[in-house]
Structure 1
Amino acid sequence: MRHLISILLQNEAGALARVAGLFASRGYNIESLTVAATPDAEVSRLTLVIFGDDGVVDQIIKQSRKLVDVIDIAELTRREHVERELLVARVDGAHDRIDACIAQHGARVLERHGTNTLVEFTGRPDEVDRCLDAFARIGEVSDHARSGIAALERASVAVV
């Protein structure tokens, strides 16, 4: 099963490595990992996506809470949440076909050089997959980068 985990941790050297190491030491490959500072410069939010057995993931989460750098941890998988991912792709092809695809998916042009168009798209991971597939059908996607998932619990259910 897919697990989406949000961790608030101290923004200091080695904190990320300790948390990621805990998952890796249990044999779990991290599918997606994003980390960035929060409004509090001393705290970072780490968002992980892993696939695995519910019981084992629950145990890893309990063990993660014991790490000195971890302030809070929540599995968002079964909670109401919003998740987004950024795609930047280099597409080579006819501008009119690329522009139609951009309009259909709500992407935007970052730059153009000859038949090469650099595009940006932000959406849920499944939407990013569909957008990337659409670009591949109308041109050559010569390169792309995905940011990994950023997620927050919905404000209507978040504890404040």
Structure 2
Amino acid sequence: MPDASDNSFRAATIAVLVENESGVLARVIGLFSGRGYNIDSLTVAPVDADGKLSRITVVTSGTEMVIEQIKAQLDRLVPVHKVADLTLEGPHVSRELALIKVAGSGSGRQEALRLADAFRARVVDATTESFVFEMTGSGEKLDAFIALMRPVGLVEVSRTGVVSIARGAKGL
């Protein structure tokens, strides 16, 4: 484990298992905003068959001391069952979903389709003037595809934020 006195910044993907009840997300977000911590990505959804538990995935960054404070403060919130820093706990899988709208005609349209094929983006809507591509992958992969779509005719992007899960048989 890194030394708590380390002043270097690092990204952290934190998974939080909470009661699925009104106000829990607001309390988690309030913890971040009240202390001036930034949230780079935030996702939340029910994860059990009964709908009683939700999983919040937060991507943030800070010094090791700040990240340790965030985890400790999250762990103290009453509806929180478990907090895990997936970036420290071992191998994990992280993905994002994006919908990317690109407008164009002629060679620009052909280029958009060629790049989409290379990036394994799927066409989920098409008109004579535009495409909507669906793509999943790492944030870096999505960023690269979006950057290539800018000169081709990028119109709009909608992203889900990061979802992440530990590899192997162990669960949160």
Q: TM-score range by the shorter chain?
A: over 0.9
Q: Equivalences for 1:1-160 in 2 at 5 Å?
A: 1-40=10-49, 41-78=51-88, 79-93=90-104, 94-137=108-151, 139-156=152-169, 158-159=170-171
- Residue segments in structure 1 that go unaligned for 5+ positions in a row: none
CA distance in 2, matches of 1:148, 1:159: 21
Structure 1's 128 and 111: CA in aligned 2 closer, same or farther, altered over 3 A?
same
Query: RMSD of aligned C-alpha atoms?
Result: 1.4
SS at match of 1:87: strand
Is there any run of 5+ residues in structure 2 with no aligned partner, and where? Answer: 1-9
Under a length normalisation based on structure 2, what TM-score does the superposition of the two structures give? Answer: 0.87
Task: Note the alpha carbon deviations across 1:44-103, whole angstroms, 9 max, x for none.
Answer: 000001111111210221121111110111011122100000010110123311110111
- The structural deviation recorded for 1:131 is 1.2
Once the 2 structures are TM-superposed, how far is the Cα of residue 39 of structure 1 from its aligned partner? 2.4
Separation in 1, partners of 2:24, 2:64: 24
Change (3 A) 1:159 1:92: closer
**Aligned length, in residue pairs:** 158
- TM-score scaled by structure 1? 0.93
Q: Give the match's secondary structure for 2:40.
A: strand
Q: In 2, distance between residues paired with 1:133 and 1:142?
A: 12
